[in-house]
Amino acid sequence: MPAFDLSAVLLYVLGVLIIVVGIALSIGLHELGHLIPAKRFGVRVSQYMIGFGPTIFSRQRGETQYGFKAIPLGGYIAMAGMYPPKHVGEKARDASTGFMQTLVQDAPPPTILAGGMVEQAPNAVNHFGVIVDEPQRSFYNLPIWKRIVIMMGGPTVNLLIGIVLYAVVLCGFGAPQVSTTVGSVSQCVISASETRTECASGDPLAPAAEAGVRPGDRIVSMNGTTITSWDQATALIRKSPGDTISLVVERAGTNVALTVTPLLTERYVVDSKSGEVQKNPDGTSKTQDVGFLGIGAATEVVQQPITAVLPAVGDNIVRVAGIIVNLPQRLVAVANAAFGSGVRDPNGPVSVVGVGRLAGEIASINTVPVADRASALIGLVASLNIALFVFNLIPLLPLDGGHVAGALWEGLRRRLAKLFKRPDPGPVDIGKLLPLTLTVVVILGGMSLLLVYADIVNPITIQ
C-alpha cells in the first residue's frame, strides 16, 4: 500500500482551489463586461451577483445590489426591460444575463416563466427590485448597437482575459518546443512494423549509438551545414541511407566531431499537421523506407515572441468551435466511457469537475518544476475563458449570442420596413422563443450532468 503523501494532497487541493477562484473571477469579470456598458447606457441594473443559489453576502450600492451566492460557478446581472411587452400598453418583462441563473432562478412570485423571464404583476417593482415604470431605462428600448455592446461585453472580457493569460504563459513562462538537443539514443534498429519495443540479440546496433552520440548532445552541423532545427536534421538523415554524414555536436561546451551512417529502415509515414500515422486504402498503417540514426529530440521551454499569442488564441478558438460542432458525437463517446468500457478522449469536453481534477493533478506532480505547473494552471484558466467566449457566441437563448441574434434580427426588420416605407414593426419579442429556450436549457443541463458523472467515474487524467 503506497504511503500517504500529505504534501501531494495539499497541492491537489490547492490546484482545485486555484481553478475555482479562476472560474469565479472569470465569471465575475464576464458579468462586469455586461454591467459597465449597461450602466453607461442608462439601463437600470438591480443586481450583480457572482454564483447562484442562496445569497451568502450582498451589499446595496445605489440602485444595484452586489453580492455572492453559495455556488461560485455562475453569475448574472438583472436588467430592467430585457424583454419587450407582450402587447402594447403592457409593462416590459425583465430578466438576467448568465446561463446558470437561467437554470437556477431563486426568485419569489410574480410567476417565473423560464430563463429569468417574468410575467409582471401590476405593481411598480419587480422580483429583482427593479422599478418598472421607467421604460426609458429598459434594455429593450436601447438602440440595437447598444444592446449588442452590452451582450457582447461579457464574451469580449473572456476573450481579453484569455489573450492576457496566453501572453503570460507564452511570453513569460515559455512554451515547450523541439530543440536540436538529443534527448534519447536507441541502442538497436527495430522495424516500425514490429510490435516489440526491446532490442533482441540479432538486432543491428543503431548508427547513432555505434558512432558515440549521447543524450544531451546538441547537434551543431551535418556535412558542414549548420543545423537550426530538428526537422532540418531529420530531413537530412531520412534522405541519406548508406551515406556517411560528418556530424558535429556540442557536448559539455565543446564541439565533438563524429561520423555516422544512417541505415535504411522502415518507418511510419506521419501527417505533418495532425501528427497521426497515415493509413493505406486497406486500413493498415503506411510505412516507407528511410534513413535512420536512432536519435530522438529533447524538448525545451522557450519564451515566445508577443506575435505568437494571437495565433495560439486563434488555434484554441478553432479547437473549442470544433468540439461544439461535433458535440453530439463526442457526447456519445463520453456516455460510452461513463456507462460502458469506452475510453475518454483526452481532447474531448470536460465539466468543471473534470477541470478541477486536472488542476489538482497538475499542482500535485512533484517531479515537474513549480514554474511549469504554474504555467499549466494559468494556461488552463486561459483555455476556460476562450471556451466561455466561444460558447456564449452560440446564437441560442439563453446565451449571450441568442440576445445578439435577436437584436440583429430586429435591426434587419426595421431597416427593411424603412426601405420599403412600411410602418416600424417595433421591437422583436425574443421571449416568444421560450419553448426553444427551455429545450436548450434542458439539453445543456443534461449534457452538464453527463460530463460531471463521466468526470467522476471515468475522468480524463494527465498521469
pLDDT digits (tens, 9 = 90+) for 117-150: 333 333 344 433 444 456 778 888 899 999 999 9
For the chain, the residue count is 463
Q: Would you state the pLDDT for residue 125? A: 43
Active site residues: 31
Q: What one-character-per-residue DSSP string does 358-400 give?
A: HHHHHHH-TTS-HHHHHHHHHHHHHHHHHHHHHHHTSSSTTSH
Cell 426595421 found at? 414
The residue type at 273 = K
Cell digits for 333?
463517446
Indicate the angle between helix axes 370-392 and 352-364, nearest 10 degrees: 170
pLDDT tens per residue across span 245-297: 999 999 988 999 999 998 887 667 666 565 567 777 777 777 777 888 888 88
Q: Using alpha carbons, list the distances in angstroms from residue 104 to 3, 76, 112, 247, 448.
A: 43, 11, 11, 67, 14
- Predicted pLDDT of residue 311: 95
329 vs 332: CA distance, rounded Å? 5
Tell the burial category of 182 from Cβ atoms under 10 Å away from its Cβ (0-12, 13-18, 19+). buried
Measured CA to CA, the distance from residue 272 to residue 274 in angstroms comes to: 6
pLDDT tens digits for range 322-368: 888 888 888 888 888 888 887 888 878 888 888 888 888 888 888 88
Q: Please state, rounded to an integer, the average pLDDT across all residues of the chain.
A: 81
DSSP code for 270? B
